[in-house]
Chains A and B, each alone.
Chain A
Amino acid sequence: MFGISDPGIWIVYLLSILCVIGSVVFGVKYWNKEDENDKKE
């Protein structure tokens, strides 16, 4: 994958891409959402 034969390396590239996608999705989903604990306070 990605022209890299060692899974120890291509996995980290894959995980990094997934991490960025996940964080962007998380950020967009909760961009304007107030936290329940904040509301209680």
Chain B
Amino acid sequence: MDNFSMYLIVMVYFLAVAFLGYLGYKKTKDSKDFLIGGGEMNPIVMALSYGATFISASAIVGFGGVAATFGMGIQWLMFLNMFVGVVIAFIIFGRPTRRIGAKLKVSTFAQFLGAFYDSKKIRIFVAAVIFICMPLYAAAVLRGGVFCMQEVFGIDFNLALLIFTIIVASYVIAGGMKGVMYTDALQAVIMFLCMAFLVIGVYKALGMGFSEANAALGAISDQVPEKLAAVGHRGWTSMPAFASQQWYTLVTSLIMGVGIGCLAQPQLVVRFMTVNSTKKLNQGVAIGCVFLLITVGVVYHVGALSNLYFWQNDGNISINMVDASDKIIPYFIGRVMPTWFVTIFMLCILSASMSTLSAQFHTMAAAAGSDIYGSCVSESAKKKMTVVIRLAVLVSILISFIICFVLGEGNDSPIIAISTSLFMGICASAFLPSYFCALYWKKVTTKGAYASMWVGVVATILALLFLHAKEATALGICKAIFGTDVLVTNGMIKFIDPIMFAFPLSCITIVVVSLLTKKK
């Protein structure tokens, strides 16, 4: 495909996004429209938006590379994404969230918890945690999108950053939740079609069927590099050795951390409030599951199969073909698929980044504008809330833009990875127990919920600073204080994700404190 055709496709895509943003703008009349799409969104748009927000570029490129390196064990994450992230999330969490949310007349996650527990303190705490932790996480997603744009247009990092930010900012600021969800739906369709083409192309290139390819991949397990075998890798069609370093990373960080962490992510929870009946959530379950199976399921599967392709054609395995696991999927697609598909795949990555990013900007703005500012002003000042939230979107975008600009192109700062872990950990540990109890436990008290939130935040931060080797080593605070990278050096504790400590502690806290205190 020549450059002109490639630019044309990308320009048409941007025009379509701009049009949908404009459509959102035309249909946004008040703050309820801006925050939850007026609570009357189409169920298909809602489910596609939920799926597209769920799946960022790092889920495709990053975890696809993990699948290529460590094998099919990561498919447990895909299963949990579907079962926990859609089935449990929609049926167990989504239905009562929509109902209670409508009854309490709330439009954000922080408002939901604040109104349920009748506590301004909780509302501001949740909003503050979102507004403090999310910009770094958003900066990580922004960087992924900028790298993709650099690749497509061959332009400078800073220019790509500026263009990408302006495009996302324009439709989030103008269209609010409606603009975000319409564009999400378009992006979800692009991602879905792209992955469907990819799996067909890969099997065509391998020249064999599903079971035959899996068996052939299993047969080359002796090609696993020694350094990976030493940490538990037993082949790409096998789970890592039980209780090995790789097993703990896979099970506690990737599967449990990401799989469970998704349940209380504010940008996902708020989507349950964008529909006006439980029937619409039921309709979304099937759409969400099929979407995730085809998007993440395919990329994890072909990631693992890339080893077989490279072994057949180059006599080598995936991780030896490139210098970083993040580059495996783009390189593999460049080798296996036709040239025109490479451009479409870039569009898919761009879509994945934009859909996640727009939801993050919208959530941060809702937290700052509606929850923090809205809690501090009089009722009359709330009439101008849409303008304030639009300004808050601008501020959120500027903060993420500045972080991304300061970190620059070549700076692989651990802050990005740490902030992502921190946000996932805090969502699960600080928000999930109080969110679940709000829906299902009548004895929960405001004090119990507030204490559990604090315990979740503090325990996650302490575990990141002093226990989990990946972040503690990078930050060096434990080393500076205690002279050792992590506090517990023996055994596998240093490989266990912080969520495994912080989440149970937060759960115990909410139960104990609620039983000891009086309900408001």
On whether the beta carbons of B282 and A20 are closer than 8 Å, the reply is no
| Docked CA distance A20–B297 (Å) | 12
Min CB gap A26→B, angstroms: 6
Min CB gap A8→B, angstroms: 4
On whether the beta carbons of B214 and A3 are closer than 8 Å, the reply is yes
On whether the beta carbons of B237 and A6 are closer than 8 Å, the reply is yes
On whether the beta carbons of A19 and B82 are closer than 8 Å, the reply is yes
| Docked CA distance A6–B234 (Å) | 10
On whether the beta carbons of A3 and B238 are closer than 8 Å, the reply is no
| A 1-17 binary contact with B (CB < 8 Å = 1; else 0) | 01111101100110110
Q: B23-37: which residues lie under 8 A (CB-CB) from chain A?
A: none
Given contacts A16-B297, A31-B282, A38-B99, contact A23 B289 (CB under 8 A): yes
Main secondary structure, interface of A, reads helix
On whether the beta carbons of A35 and B279 are closer than 8 Å, the reply is yes
Chain A residues positioned under 8 Å from B238 (CB to CB): 5-6, 8-9
Given contacts A2-B210, A3-B214, A35-B95, contact A9 B278 (CB under 8 A): no
| Docked CA distance A30–B278 (Å) | 10
CB < 8 Å: which of B71, B82, B279, B288 contacts A38? Answer: B279
Q: Write the chain B residue with the least CB distance to A40.
A: B99
Chain B residues positioned under 8 Å from A24 (CB to CB): 286, 289-290
| Docked CA distance A16–B277 (Å) | 27
On whether the beta carbons of B278 and A37 are closer than 8 Å, the reply is yes
| Docked CA distance A27–B218 (Å) | 36
Given contacts A3-B215, A5-B237, contact A41 B285 (CB under 8 A): no
Chain A residues positioned under 8 Å from B83 (CB to CB): 15, 19
Min CB gap B202→A, angstroms: 15
| B 66-90 binary contact with A (CB < 8 Å = 1; else 0) | 0000011101101100110011000
Q: Write the chain B residue with the least CB distance to A6.
A: B238
CB of B222 within 8 A of chain A?
A: no
| Docked CA distance A6–B71 (Å) | 12
On whether the beta carbons of B282 and A27 are closer than 8 Å, the reply is yes
| Docked CA distance A2–B277 (Å) | 40
CB < 8 Å: which of B103, B214, B278, B289 contacts A19? Answer: B289
CB of B490 within 8 A of chain A?
A: no
On whether the beta carbons of B289 and A12 are closer than 8 Å, the reply is no
Chain A residues positioned under 8 Å from B413 (CB to CB): none
Min CB gap A31→B, angstroms: 6
Chain B residues positioned under 8 Å from A20 (CB to CB): 82, 289-290, 293
| Docked CA distance A38–B281 (Å) | 12
CB < 8 Å: which of A5, A23, A27, A33 contacts B82? Answer: A23
Chain B residues positioned under 8 Å from A32 (CB to CB): 279
CB of B211 within 8 A of chain A?
A: yes
On whether the beta carbons of A38 and B277 are closer than 8 Å, the reply is yes
| Docked CA distance A16–B278 (Å) | 24
On whether the beta carbons of A19 and B210 are closer than 8 Å, the reply is no
Q: Write the chain A residue with the least CB distance to B255.
A: A12
On whether the beta carbons of B283 and A41 are closer than 8 Å, the reply is no
On whether the beta carbons of B283 and A16 are closer than 8 Å, the reply is no
CB < 8 Å: which of A5, A15, A22, A33 contacts B79? Answer: A15
Min CB gap A32→B, angstroms: 7
Min CB gap B265→A, angstroms: 20
Most chain A CB atoms below 10 A, which of B211, B282, B290, B297: B282
CB of B239 within 8 A of chain A?
A: yes
On whether the beta carbons of B290 and A34 are closer than 8 Å, the reply is no
23 contacts between A and B (CB under 8 A): A3-B210, A3-B215, A3-B216, A9-B71, A9-B73, A13-B75, A15-B79, A16-B75, A16-B78, A16-B293, A20-B290, A23-B286, A24-B286, A24-B289, A26-B91, A26-B286, A27-B285, A27-B287, A30-B283, A31-B279, A33-B282, A34-B279, A38-B279
Known: A9-B239, A23-B288. 14 other contacts (CB 8 A): A3-B216, A5-B218, A8-B73, A8-B238, A16-B78, A19-B79, A19-B83, A20-B293, A23-B86, A23-B87, A24-B286, A26-B91, A27-B286, A30-B282
Chain B: residues with CB nearer than 8 A to chain A?
Answer: 71-73, 75-76, 78-79, 82-83, 86-87, 91, 95, 99, 102-103, 210-216, 218, 234, 237-239, 277-279, 282-290, 293, 297
